[in-house]
A and B are shown apart, each in its own frame.
Chain A
Amino acid sequence: QVQLQQSGAELAKPGSSVKISCKASGYTFTSYYISWIKQTTGQGLEYIGYINAGSGGTNYNENFKGKATLTVDKSSSTAFMQLSSLTPDDSAVYYCALNYGGNYFDYWGQGVMVTVSS
């Protein structure tokens, strides 16, 4: 069955970076896109961008250009998102999600809580 297993919670200092992972299983990793979504109490669900797991091509929401960098490691069927120059506004739960059946997110990871605090 399709599964997306994300890495554990992160506590980071302002100005630093974090890299969170999303390990996929149960399907052909390189045939689909993985998207990343941010959830906060205040802003709700925000779309960050997607990566084509086969080609590595990416497309970012303008609001996250320069903030998020999406990559994949085909050998381990893992997608990564690096968040840079962290501020308290980056504190959120971050989800990876799979575009499997079409132009929507069929399967989601369990989420990673990122807390930015000095």
Chain B
Amino acid sequence: DVVMTQTPVSLPVSLGGQASISCRSSQSLVHSNGNTYLHWYLQKPGQSPQLLIYRVSNRFSGVPDRFGGSGSGTDFTLKISRVEPEDLGDYYCLQSSHFPPTFGAGTKLELQ
């Protein structure tokens, strides 16, 4: 299975500040069809994960443009600018280029 390594495990931030989360895969996530299936989720306490970014850099419906995804191959980044209280929680990357889909272990975004 593809191993997804997320860093950091914990990320203290200030409100209004910026955050960056890294996700690296153990093999290339470029699918045979040319697409790269790397996605980002936020799980708030007591809630289900919610999709933020799909296929590296596409914001899901309703996701503010403070969230941005980038990367290629095996290295990917989620950046959050102007952090707001509702952004706090656990962030996960997910790859679905290879079966089975696998998740990163998560990054906890918390107040500094």
Residue contact B48 to A104, C-beta cutoff 8 Å: no
Set of chain A residues within 8 Å of B54, measured between Cβ atoms: 101-102, 104, 106
Residue contact A45 to B92, C-beta cutoff 8 Å: yes
Least Cβ distance of B27 to chain A in Å?
17
Contact with B along A36-73 (1 / 0, CB 8 A): 00000000111101000000000101110000000000
A109→B105 CA distance, assembly (Å) = 21
Query: Does A75 count as interface, using CB distance less than 8 angstroms?
Result: no
A104→B39 CA distance, assembly (Å) = 7
**Nearest B residue to A62, CB-CB:** B100
Residue contact A109 to B96, C-beta cutoff 8 Å: no
Set of chain B residues within 8 Å of A105, measured between Cβ atoms: 39, 49, 51, 94
- Say whether chain B's binding surface is mostly helix, strand, loop, or mixed: loop
**Nearest A residue to B35, CB-CB:** A103
Q: How many residues of B contact A (CB 8 A)?
A: 22
Set of chain B residues within 8 Å of A44, measured between Cβ atoms: 92, 103-106
A111→B105 CA distance, assembly (Å) = 19
Residue contact A104 to B55, C-beta cutoff 8 Å: yes
Q: Please, could you name 12 A-B residue pairs with CB atoms under 8 Å apart, sorted by A?
A: A44-B103, A45-B94, A47-B100, A47-B103, A49-B100, A95-B48, A105-B49, A105-B51, A105-B94, A108-B49, A108-B50, A111-B48
B residues within 8 Å of A by Cβ? 35, 37, 39, 48-51, 54-55, 60, 92, 94, 96-97, 99-106
